[in-house]
C-alpha cells in the first residue's frame, strides 16, 4: 500500500485508538446498518463506505492485525509480510525487511542515518511509482518521494452533536488516541460539515511532520425539528374547528415559543413560513422555519361534542369531493 492510500481505520469507525473490542464491535454494527446495501440500494457511495467499514473492522477486531497496524501505521501490511523473519513485500518493491529489527531501522537507513548496513547510501528521491524498465531488486532501485515534498498525514473522525450544540456552537472535548483536545464548533454546523483542526492529524513517518484533523459533523435526530438546507422544518397538529375557523397557536422555534395565526380554512399539509427562524447561515443571518399543518380529529368525544358535530354534519353545505363526480377514465 502506498503512503497516499493509507486508511485511518479508527477514524473510519469513529472511535479512539484506545477503544475496547466491544466498542469496536458496537461502532461497526452501527455503521454497517447505516451503509448496508439493502438499506441503500443502488447507492455506490454507501456501497464503498460499507466495504471500507468492513475492512476497518476486519483489521481492528483482530488483536494481532491491530497490534501491527498500531505499531507500523500505513506500512503494517508490509511489516506483516516482510519482518521480522525475512521475506519480501510486493508493495515495497522487493525490499528484504528481514535484515531490520524494526521499521524505524529501515527508515533510518533509507534516509541516510546509521542502519543495519555497514555504510550509508544515497537514494533517489523520486515518486514511489515504478516506470517501465525500472527494476526494484535492491535499494539503489527503490524510490521515495522527497519527504519534504510529501503531504502530511491528515486524519478524519466523526463528532456527534445535538441540534442545540450545532445551532448555537459549542466547545467539545475530543479524544484522539491518547491525546485530548478542545475543539470549538461554530454556530450553524450541519450534518456532513467538515471542520479542520490544524496539526492534530497523524505523524508522517517520512518527515515527522503532523497532518491535520478533519472532524465530520454528525447530527443527532431531533424529536421536533428537521433541517433542509438553511431552513428548519416541523409539523404541528390542529383541530378541525381551528382549521375551519382559524386560530392563534403557539409554535416552538429555536428562540422559544412564538404565536402563529392560522388563516380560516387552512388545509392539512399546508406550510406556514416563519421568516428568520431557521438555521444560522455562515455568512450571517438565519434561514426560515416552515410549519407544516396537520389536522387531527379527536379520537374521543364527549356527548355534547358528538351532538354538535352531528348537527354540523346535518347542516353542512360544503362537499370537498363534489368534483369527483366528473372524473372519468
pLDDT band at 175 (very low <50, low <70, confident <90, very high): confident
- What does the pLDDT average to over 104-118? 49
pLDDT at residue 142 greater than cutoff 50: no
Alpha carbons 286 and 275: distance in angstroms, whole number: 8
Domain count, the chain: 3
Domain range spanning residue 165? 155-219
109 cis-preceded (ω within 30 degrees of 0): no
258 with 215, same domain? no
- The CATH number of whichever domain residue 2 belongs to comes to 1.10.287.110
Nearest alpha carbon to residue 262 among 276, 241, 283, 279: 241
210 with 284, same domain? no
Give pTM, 2 decimals: 0.52
Note whether residue 115 is domain-resident: no
- What does the pLDDT average to over 244-273? 96
Spell out the long-range contacts of 31-39 with Cβ–Cβ below 8 A and sequence spacing 24 or more.
Answer: 32/57
pLDDT band at 267 (very low <50, low <70, confident <90, very high): very high
Answer yes or no: are the C-beta atoms of 27 and 21 closer than 8 Å: no
Cell triple for 190: 450541519
Note whether residue 122 is domain-resident: no
178 with 247, same domain? no
- What does the pLDDT average to over 289-302? 95
235 with 304, same domain? yes
Chain mean pLDDT for the chain: 79
Note whether residue 305 is domain-resident: yes
| Domain-ending residue, one of 30, 61, 78 | 78
196 with 275, same domain? no
φ, ψ (nearest 5 deg) of residue 79: -65, -40
pLDDT at residue 86 greater than cutoff 60: no
Cα atoms in the 13 Å half-sphere on the side-chain side of 218:
10
47 with 2, same domain? yes
pLDDT at residue 91 greater than cutoff 80: no
Percent of the chain with pLDDT over 70: 75
Confidence (pLDDT) at 152: 55
| Domain-ending residue, one of 219, 250, 272 | 219
Nearest alpha carbon to residue 156 among 46, 49, 10, 58: 10
Note whether residue 99 is domain-resident: no
215 with 282, same domain? no
7 with 73, same domain? yes
Give the dihedral sign, CA 289/293/294/295.
positive
Note whether residue 100 is domain-resident: no
Confidence (pLDDT) at 129: 35
Note whether residue 213 is domain-resident: yes
| Domain-ending residue, one of 31, 52, 78 | 78
203 with 249, same domain? no
- The CATH number of whichever domain residue 165 belongs to comes to 2.60.260.20
196 with 244, same domain? no
Amino acid at each position: 500500500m502506498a503512503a497516499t492510500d493509507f486508511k485511518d481505520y479508527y477514524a473510519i469507525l469513529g472511535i479512539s485508538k484506545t477503544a475496547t473490542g466491544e466498542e469496536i464491535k458496537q461502532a461497526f454494527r452501527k455503521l454497517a446498518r447505516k451503509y448496508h446495501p439493502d438499506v441503500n440500494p443502488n447507492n455506490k457511495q454507501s456501497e464503498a463506505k460499507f466495504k471500507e467499514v468492513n475492512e476497518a473492522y476486519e483489521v481492528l477486531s483482530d488483536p494481532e492485525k491491530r497490534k501491527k497496524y498500531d505499531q507500523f501505521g500505513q506500512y503494517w501490511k508490509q511489516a506483516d509480510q516482510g519482518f521480522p523473519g525475512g521475506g519480501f513485500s510486493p508493495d515495497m518493491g522487493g525490499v528484504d525487511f528481514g535484515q531490520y529489527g524494526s521499521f524505524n531501522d529501515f527508515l533510518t537507513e533509507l534516509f541516510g542515518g546509521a542502519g543495519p548496513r555497514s555504510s550509508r547510501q544515497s537514494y533517489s528521491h523520486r515518486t514511489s511509482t515504478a516506470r517501465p524498465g525500472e527494476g526494484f531488486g535492491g535499494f539503489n532501485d527503490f524510490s521515495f518521494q522527497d519527504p519534504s515534498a510529501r503531504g502530511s498525514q491528515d486524519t478524519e473522525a466523526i463528532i456527534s452533536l445535538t441540534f442545540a450544540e450545532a445551532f448555537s456552537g459549542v466547545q467539545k472535548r475530543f479524544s484522539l488516541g491518547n491525546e485530548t483536545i478542545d475543539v470549538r464548533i461554530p454556530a450553524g454546523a450541519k450534518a456532513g460539515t467538515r471542520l479542520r483542526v490544524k496539526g492534530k492529524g497523524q505523524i508522517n513517518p517520512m518527515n515527522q511532520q503532523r497532518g491535520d484533523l478533519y472532524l465530520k459533523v454528525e447530527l443527532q435526530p431531533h424529536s421536533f425539528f428537521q433541517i433542509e438546507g438553511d431552513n428548519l422544518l416541523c409539523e404541528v397538529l390542529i383541530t378541525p374547528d381551528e382549521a375551519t375557523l382559524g386560530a392563534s397557536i403557539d409554535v416552538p422555534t429555536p428562540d422559544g415559543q412564538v404565536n402563529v395565526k392560522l388563516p380560516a380554512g387552512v388545509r392539512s399539509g399546508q406550510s406556514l413560513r416563519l421568516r428568520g427562524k431557521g438555521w444560522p447561515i455562515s455568512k450571517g443571518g438565519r434561514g426560515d422555519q416552515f410549519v407544516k399543518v396537520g389536522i387531527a380529529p379527536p379520537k374521543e368525544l364527549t356527548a355534547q361534542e358528538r351532538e354538535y358535530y352531528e348537527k354540523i354534519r346535518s347542516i353542512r353545505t360544503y362537499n370537498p369531493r363534489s368534483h369527483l363526480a366528473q372524473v372519468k377514465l
